[in-house]
Structure 1
């Protein structure tokens, strides 16, 4: 397989280097069609590799929390893209042979495969395997004419074509299945943008959507004739107001050992003289004006910093990694310190580098921030944790993973 892929790669490079300006129009169209077929066939091969690696547990064996996270680091993908790749590989693996053959033959694309597999699964449950086989043929044929969106719409009445005697009863069952999928697919995704803002996307089920509208609608009305905010801006401000109201209730559960709160780190001069910027524990930055506004309703914890922002003192030492010591740990590590992990501080525990049971002390020099998965992985695995010369954690992989055992660091939480 490796030899064949290398030959294919060389052929693609040769095509890329071929000037297209001199080609006739019909040749360009034919080349485009061939490129699309090859792309889908490569997708079939890629999905097969992902499915096999996922089944073998390669990702967790190498310290990643999931195959999606491992693919993100290995292929430099967005984690959402990597997650969908794993899901589609599983879907294709369970799909009828006709669906896999269509993708390998380049006649359908991966989004159409997702639609066909889901539709055929519904038909199989409603009308049995014979109707499902007929549905595969019909859907693959339609896929040569229609894109994934239209194919999904056509698929809602596929039983009218392959099993009309059960179509009406199946339509009712399909509605119930749709409700079940809506509950399964509910999600909210928060993606950090390069400039520090967040992109909020997701799908709410009916009940959550009603609750959200009830909460923000009263706050989205214009405040007066001078309110020039666009509707989207008013909804943004309303959602922020709801979050502030929730934080003020004091009824939210603790987060990583501390009360749920916004943590801002700034210098004393920056706070009193309104100079410079401040950092949130998520790694984002605020202007001095914003910090002074937050400080009007905040608890302030002094911290003494040395050269290079090395933390020297954060108040009284405690036996557990909580309170001031945890805040110092968050300030230093920014999130899970394990290489390749992007989980934020609120998902993390404080871990003793030298275990407490072995005489390790509870101090910043003997602590590292780890998410739940990597906390367990470090406890039960062969990774060694230590602080580097600059006071930041580094991880030495086991010899079976890296014979040279070169120390690794997390680069996702760097702020400069």
Structure 2
């Protein structure tokens, strides 16, 4: 039976396999929504009691025989669509995956911010539709950090209190574990590790080029990504063991990307200053019944779109509590990076042909990985290219920057593909036939404004090159 299905797949063309995979995923999302609806009604009616089961979890285990983790996911999704039918609508329409929906549930189950869930659900669903899962998970974490300030800070304190690490030799195999700690420590160590990983990557690229010459891109690197990470960790330990006692370790640059409004509100909460510059007396927030209202939560009641422009994260993409940005600002351990309402880094004002120096550093803050859909090559190992080519009037600034690994950068140019941004600053790749690379279920974005701007810039560049035209 399965052999027939497999034979059918083997007989398909590449395009037919792609279409079938997409259609199968859409069907799976519809089934997931239907199963969630059945689960929600079954729980309300206490259907589980028919055969003597004492809980919904026991009923599911006995009826459909899933794993323990799957029982938890089923119940979460059932309760989510019961509370917010719009999530079920998005699943049935195929616009979001089950994994995206379960990230949304983190807001629903948070008792301190669940009251704004219904208001922000449409905005979060839009983010889910147009975001890779890892990116969306980060955005939900960011939302919770900003909306549930007290709860997120308690989690932060717990992580610092319960930090731990272990380096063990288990039957001749290295086992390294480190968890918890302060976010700025995590950012610093991650930056150090990534620097060593990049050095190992460059070594492999040079070795491949020396062996294969002009055909180097057609051959794999000598080591896998996992092997390079392991060797980078060994190099860090070796460097530490070989350094003179007491020598100062180099301090990596860690950028904290935060929008102006979030930073101003955080200063205000701390009793330092208000956005209008007035000094706040910290006693205003102390009293038996007085509580400091979460500005973002209040704002969301009036404008659910307010969250789109908020950012508070390290340059590696880790979402951090606003108080960490405040601590870094006050202690001078921060290079503040300002972002605009679209969530992209504001132009450094560098007008040059290539993305180098500050222009490259700022452009790399636009992404954590290569912008080609599905690619996970770290941004630090990528090329910074122009969305609109330089010769066609494209500026060397952050709004016109595109982060792609060297392989996908060359692939794009060989295929004559383009990249464009939508009104929210999200970047999309366009094939030479005009179709857009999209995951299953995502609707086509409106790129008309960016396309019009490209045409205008191209004509201005042509006129500048030939004033008599």
TM category (shorter chain) comes to 0.3 to 0.5
So what's the TM-score if we normalise by structure 2?
0.34
Give the number of the structure with larger relative contact order, counting CA–CA contacts within 8 Å between residues 6 or more apart: 2
So what's the TM-score if we normalise by structure 1?
0.37
